[in-house]
A and B are shown apart, each in its own frame.
Chain A
Amino acid sequence: GAGVSQSPSNKVTEKGKDVELRCDPISGHTALYWYRQSLGQGLEFLIYFQGNSAPDKSGLPSDRFSAERTGGSVSTLTIQRTQQEDSAVYLCASSLPQRQDIEFFGPGTRLTVL
C-alpha cells in the first residue's frame, strides 16, 4: 500500500516489559513523527525525525522512551520497563519536507500495559 503502516496494530504487555513499535513511512517522506494519544485526550508529540536525525526529542516523556530511524525510512519506538500510564495509541506520521502540515498518519499501535 501507499500509506504509512505501523506494526503491531495492537500490543498487550505486562508492566515492566519492553516493547518495540514499528513505523514504515511513505516512500520519499523524509519527515517522520511519533505522537501518542491517550483515551479521550489530544495528540501528544513525542519525537520528530528529518531523515535519520532527530532534531526534536523534546516530547519523549522519560528516558524509558527512545526512537531511531534507519535509512531515512523505517522507524522504531522503544519503550523500556513499560508502565500502565504508557497505555495509549501510538501514531506515526510522515510528510514531504517542504510541507507545513503533517500529511499522513498511520493507523496507530494500540498499546495496553497490564
Chain B
Amino acid sequence: RKEVEQDPGPFNVPEGATVAFNCTYSNSASQSFFWYRQDCRKEPKLLMSVYSSGNEDGRFTAQLNRASQYISLLIRDSKLSDSATYLCVVGSGGYQKVTFGTGTKLQVIP
C-alpha cells in the first residue's frame, strides 16, 4: 500500500462548482499534513497546511480525519485559475521528512 494515495482524476467541474478531494495515508504516526498545488510543468507550491481542527483560507477548506487516516480539500466557487494538480503531502519524520501523493488533477471548465 502506498504511503499516500490520491485519486488521480481528472475532476472536470464547471466554474462556480464546489469540488472536494480526499487523500488517504497509511502511517498512523503521521504528524503533519499539507496540500500543495502544481501547475503544468511548474514546481509545487504550498497551498495550505491541514490542522486537526480543520482550517479555511478563502474558498479553500482543509480537514483532517485521524481516525480514518484521510485529509480532504474542499474548493468552493471554483475558478478557471484553480485548474491544476493538487498534491497531498504527509509528514512523519522528526525532521520534516514528507511524502507526496501523486496528485489529483482538477480542470475547471467555463
Residues of A within 8 A of B (CB): 31, 35, 41-43, 45, 48, 50, 55-56, 91, 95, 99-103, 105-108
Do the beta carbons of B43 and A101 come within 8 Å of each other? no
Q: Give me the interface of B with A, judged by CB distance under 8 Å.
A: 31-32, 34, 42-46, 49, 87, 89, 91, 93, 95-103
Does A101 contact B95, Cβ atoms closer than 8 Å? Answer: no
Beta-carbon contact of B96 and A48 below 8 Å: yes
Interface centre among A42, A99, A101 (most CB of B within 10 A): A42
Instruction: Tell me which of B31, B46, B93, B103 contacts A102 (CB under 8 A).
Output: B46
Query: Besides A45-B100, A48-B96, A107-B43, 11 other CB < 8 A contacts?
Result: A35-B100, A45-B97, A45-B99, A99-B96, A100-B31, A100-B32, A101-B96, A101-B98, A102-B96, A105-B43, A105-B45
Residues of A with C-beta under 8 A to B102: 41-42
What's the minimum C-beta distance from A80 to chain B, rounded to whole angstroms?
Answer: 25
Closest 8 interchain pairs by CB?
A42-B102, A105-B43, A43-B100, A100-B32, A42-B100, A101-B34, A105-B44, A107-B43
Question: B20: shortest Cβ distance to chain A, in Å?
Answer: 20
**Chain A: which residue is nearest B4 at the CB level?**
A42
Q: Is the CB of B43 within 8 A of A108?
A: yes
Q: Are B44 and A42 in contact (CB under 8 A)?
A: no
Nearest CB in chain B to that of A101: its residue: B34
In the bound complex, how far is the Cα of B103 from the Cα of A41, in angstroms? Answer: 8
Q: With A and B bound together, what is the CA distance between A108 and B95 in angstroms?
A: 23
Cβ B43 vs Cβ A42 within 8 A:
no
- 16 inter-chain pairs at a CB distance below 8 angstroms, sorted by A residue, are A31-B95, A35-B100, A42-B103, A45-B98, A45-B100, A48-B95, A91-B43, A99-B96, A100-B31, A100-B96, A101-B34, A101-B46, A101-B91, A101-B96, A102-B96, A107-B42
